[in-house]
């Protein structure tokens, strides 16, 4: 039997090419769904493509490893890059166009503007990685304005990022529907992430404990344990499981990320922890 091979995915490199491709689809009454990514794609990214495909006639994934969201000491240089492999995966998931702009398209000489979101971006990831959400908000604002899609799809895996993006599109009146999609996980619960490729075999075994510890914390919260006791216990369990250090385990209001007084309000548990040089994040609804 012949193996089905998808046609090569068209690639746009400039804003003009991106816009003319989307305009042609709009003239045929097709809506556009946008999926911003930094590449090194996995099933988590492809689940966003499939969600977009269900709602939109024309699906565009973007690939840009955004230097502005990495601090100088972070992993920008070693971040995994594989555009040809990514394009094949996207085509097989039903994506219609890849937008892969170069750095000079996104940040030409003289670029001087940043998008800064206050409140929801200041705690947790924003506290641990102070430059991070400024870089994310700036690049996502640019991608949304370049493509002007009907909807854009983001993973709950990066839950705080999803809230930051909802906030900026509301505040800046960017006419796009932001769709949050569930986290895709390995069988043992580890959330898929491009950074999982950094893990050694021993670290990979420890990594799955992150999700187990969050599950246990949710059970304890539902059984009535106080929030601060559960957060402390979960951090200790991560350290005991072999995590090198724990940036935070926090139970927060699911909409504002402010500390919760009780579980009467919708809550989310979020965590970030290190395995050697690799930083893992995860979160779940309480
Ligand atoms: P990244 O390439 O890591 O910047 O991620 C691009 C998009 O994919 C973001 O909206 C992420 O939240 C989403 N994503 C990453 N990992 C997962 C996952 N395991 N499940 C669902 N979405 C994900």
Domain ranges (residues) in the chain: 11-181, 194-285
What is the dotted CATH code of the domain comprising 11-181? 3.40.50.620
Q: Atom 6 (ligand 1): residue with closest C-alpha? A: 37
Mutate to test the pocket of ligand 1, among 37, 39, 60, 190 (most ligand atoms within 8 A of CB): 37
Q: What distance in angstroms lies between residue 246's CA and the mean position of ligand 1's atoms?
A: 21
Cβ–ligand 1 distance for 192 under 6 Å, the answer yes
Q: Which residue has the tokens 């490729």?
A: 197
Pocket residue to mutate for ligand 1, from 143, 157, 281, 284, most atoms within 8 A of Cβ: 157
Question: Which tens digits make up the pLDDT trace of 168-195?
Answer: 999 999 999 999 999 999 999 999 999 9
Give the pLDDT band (50/70/90) at residue 159: very high
CATH of domain 194-285: 3.30.1300.10
Does the beta carbon of 178 lie inside 6 Å of ligand 1?
A: no
| Strand pairing report for 177-181 and 58-63 | unpaired
- pTM of the predicted model as reported, rounded to 2 decimal places: 0.97
CA Rg value for the chain: 19
**Model confidence pLDDT, tens digit, residues 21-35:** 999 999 999 999 999
Looking at residues 42-46, what average pLDDT do you find? 98
d(CA 132, CA 109): 21
Cα-flanking dihedrals φ and ψ of residue 61, to 5°?
A: -100, 145
């Amino acid at each position: 039997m012949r193996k089905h091979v998808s046609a090569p995915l068209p690639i746009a490199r400039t804003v003009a090419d991106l816009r003319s491709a989307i305009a042609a689809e709009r003239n045929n009454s097709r809506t556009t769904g946008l999926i911003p990514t930094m590449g090194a794609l996995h099933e988590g990214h492809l689940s966003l493509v499939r969600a977009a495909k269900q709602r939109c006639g024309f699906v565009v994934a973007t690939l840009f490893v955004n230097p502005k969201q990495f601090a100088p000491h972070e992993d920008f240089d070693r971040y995994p890059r594989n555009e040809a492999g990514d394009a094949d995966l996207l085509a097989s998931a039903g994506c219609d166009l890849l937008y892969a702009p170069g750095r000079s398209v996104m940040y030409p000489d003289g670029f001087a503007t940043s998008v800064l979101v206050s409140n929801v971006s200041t705690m947790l990831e924003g506290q641990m990685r102070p430059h991070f959400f400024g870089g994310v908000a700036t690049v996502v604002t640019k991608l949304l304005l370049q493509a002007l899609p009907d909807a854009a799809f983001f993973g709950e895996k990066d839950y705080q990022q999803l809230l930051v993006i909802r906030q900026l599109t509301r505040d800046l009146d960017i006419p796009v529907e932001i769709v949050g999609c569930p986290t895709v996980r390995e069988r043992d619960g580890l959330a898929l992430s491009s950074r999982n490729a950094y893990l050694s075999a021993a670290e990979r075994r420890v990594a799955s404990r992150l999700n187990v510890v969050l599950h246990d914390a949710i059970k304890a919260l539902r059984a009535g344990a106080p929030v601060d006791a559960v957060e402390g216990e979960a951090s200790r369990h991560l350290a005991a499981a072999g995590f090198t250090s724990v940036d935070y385990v926090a139970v927060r209001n699911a909409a504002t990320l402010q500390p919760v007084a009780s579980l009467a309000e919708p809550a989310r548990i979020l965590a970030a922890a290190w395995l050697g040089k690799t930083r893992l994040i995860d979160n779940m609804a309480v």
